[in-house]
Amino acid sequence: MATDQPSRQATRSPVLRTLRAAAIAAMICCAGAGRAEAQSLQIGPGDRLAVTVFGQPEMSGEFLVGDDGMIVFPLIGEVAVADATLGEIQKRFVEQLKDGFIVNPAVTVRIVELRPVYVVGDVRAPGSYPFRFGASVMSAVALAGGFGAQDQPAAAARTELILADERVRVLEGKLGALVLKLARLHAQRDDAPFDPPRPDGMTPTEYLPALERERGALTADSRALAQELALLRQQKPRIEAEKQALEVQRQSEQVQLNLIREHISGFTQLMAQGYARRYTGIELQREEARNTGNIARLNADMARLDLALIETELRIQTATNTYRRRILAEVEDTMAKIAEIRASLPSAREILAARLQQSGSIADRADQKRSIAIIRRHKGETFTTAAQGTTPVRPGDIVEVRIEPANAEVRGIGPITMRDSVPPPP
């Protein structure tokens, strides 16, 4: 056993040295060719660009290309950048800014971060890796630790498979729960029934508790709003009753005022004839003034109650609007979380598939042959092509390494240009 270990290491060391040398050579080539390649590279969803408008710092910044191939820019809104080079994107910004915003704008566009390269299949560390200009299939495999997993114990491979499977299940469970929450929020927003179907990828044991939670949240929110509105609406009858009581008092005071004024009119005639004393007339005038003041106070109290009714209506409307604004904010937040999980799920599933393949083929692969394929999206379509170690990779590519069956005939495949099955960039 002591003599077998050095011989195995000696057998693998040339392969590892070759992979490391390929990675170093790719990085050296990047330094010289990176700038020219960046200018001809087509931008895609997931790339991050830095846009600088000279003399307009508030309009400059970094922007992420969305799934629809757009970036949202101040003033001009959405700008289509997918499948365009940096020069073409710069011209689009200049043309749109000149259209009524800035006279002779000076715009520069550069790449901040590109989509990663995904390496899956028969490699030591499947996953996503940052793209580097000049990268090839061999350098991508080198970043993933090289071919195969001969030295990985079966227990470790099983652990990684369980973790990958758990991550996919957690993401799918979260996605299903968020989909149910979004359906509940839509039901609250539209005052519609809440009876959503089971989301895809969600098991019945996950669906039923999540559904009950959302129904409970819907009931609690609706009940809280109904109670708040009921308390506010209960104030209106009380205010109306107070108004009616004040109106009765005002009418009574008005009747008394009319009687006093009639008495004053008759008393004035008696005073003119000398049949009444002036002191009694003054008392009647005081009584008239007191009744007039009471009527004015009652009118003011009724106006205050009218204002209280208006304020109650406003508070009812404010409570309803606040409830709906909160629902809309939760809808936007939930949709953003759903989009984030949906963006993470494909890579998690690819890693799981790689772990499954890796876990099922840990046995000795020294004599087995491998095939490499590049999976690439271009203008909304997916293309797959066979590749060799020298085949260049581009941002967003999936490099898939597969084990050929033991009895399969291995065909020699020459260096492949992307013209054969993947459209080249312009």
| Model confidence pLDDT, tens digit, residues 157-175 | 778 888 888 888 889 888 9
Partnered with residue 398 across adjacent β-strands are 118, 375
Task: Please list, in sequence order, all residues whose beta carbon lies within 8 angstroms of the beta carbon of residue 214, skipping any fewer than 6 positions away.
Answer: 180, 181, 183, 184, 194
* pLDDT band at 343; cut points 50, 70, 90: very high
Q: If you ran DSSP here, which 8-state letter would residue 123 be given?
A: B
- 10 Å CB burial of residue 290 (0-12, 13-18, 19+) is middle
Single residue among 341, 370, 398 that ends a domain in this structure? 341
Q: Confidence class of residue 40 from pLDDT cuts 50, 70 and 90?
A: confident
Q: How far apart are CA 397 and CA 415, in angstroms?
A: 18
**Domain total in the chain:** 2
Phi, psi values for residue 295, rounded to 5°: -65, -40
Mean pLDDT of 372-397: 87
Asked if residue 76 belongs to a domain, the reply is yes
Q: How far is CA 250 from CA 150, 258, 283, 306, in A?
A: 100, 12, 22, 15
177 contact partners, CB below 8 Å, separation of at least 6: 202, 206, 210
Distance (Å, whole) CA 66 – CA 343: 11
With respect to residue 314, please indicate whether it lies within any of the assigned structural domains: yes
- Asked which of 280, 311, 341 is the last residue of a domain, the reply is 341
Is 212 a member of any domain?
A: yes
Query: Residue 276: which pLDDT band, with cuts at 50, 70 and 90?
Result: low
Instruction: Say yes or no: 92 and 188 in one domain.
Output: no
Q: Domain check: are 244 and 319 in the same one?
A: yes
Residue 379 backbone zone (phi > 0: left; psi -120 to 50: alpha; other: beta) = left
CATH number of the domain encompassing residue 100: 3.30.1950.10
Asked if the model's pLDDT at residue 266 lies above 90, the reply is no
Q: Report residue 79 as tokens.
A: 């700008």
Whether residues 80 and 184 fall in one domain: no
Average pLDDT of the chain, as a whole number = 80
Q: Is residue 18 part of a domain?
A: no
Antiparallel, parallel or unpaired: β 127-129 and 381-387: unpaired
- Verify that 315 and 189 share a domain, yes or no: yes
Per-residue CA distances from 32 to 23, 29, 37, 42, 49 (Å): 15, 6, 10, 19, 21
**91, 227: one domain:** no
Asked if 103 and 189 sit in the same domain, the reply is no
Give me the percent of the chain exceeding a pLDDT of 70. Answer: 79
Same domain as 197, residue 299: yes
Residue 303 maps to a domain: yes
For residue 208, tell me if it sits in a domain. Answer: yes
* Residues in Cβ contact with 58 at an 8 Å cutoff, skipping those fewer than 6 apart: 74
Residue 166 lies in a domain: no
Collapsing DSSP to helix, strand or coil, 254 comes out as: helix
Tell whether 380 is covered by a domain. no
Tell me, yes or no, whether 185 and 326 share the same domain: yes
Say whether pLDDT at 399 is over 90: yes
The string of pLDDT tens digits covering residues 67-102 is 888 998 888 888 899 888 999 999 998 998 888 788
Judge contact between 81 and 69, C-beta under 8 A. Answer: yes
Distance, in Å, from the CA atom of 388 to the CA atom of 404, rounded to the nearest integer, reads 15
Please check whether residues 84 and 195 belong to one and the same domain: no
Per-residue pLDDT reduced to its tens digit, 201-225: 788 888 888 889 898 988 898 888 8
Long-range contacts of 11-17 (CB under 8 A, 24+ apart): 11/366, 15/146, 15/147, 16/146
Closest CA to 27 of 106, 152, 187, 139: 139
- Residues 66 and 48: their CA atoms lie apart, in Å, by 9
List the domain range (segments joined by +) for residue 106. 39-115
Final residue belonging to a domain, choices 115, 142, 166: 115
> Closest Cα to residue 67, out of 336, 330, 328?
336
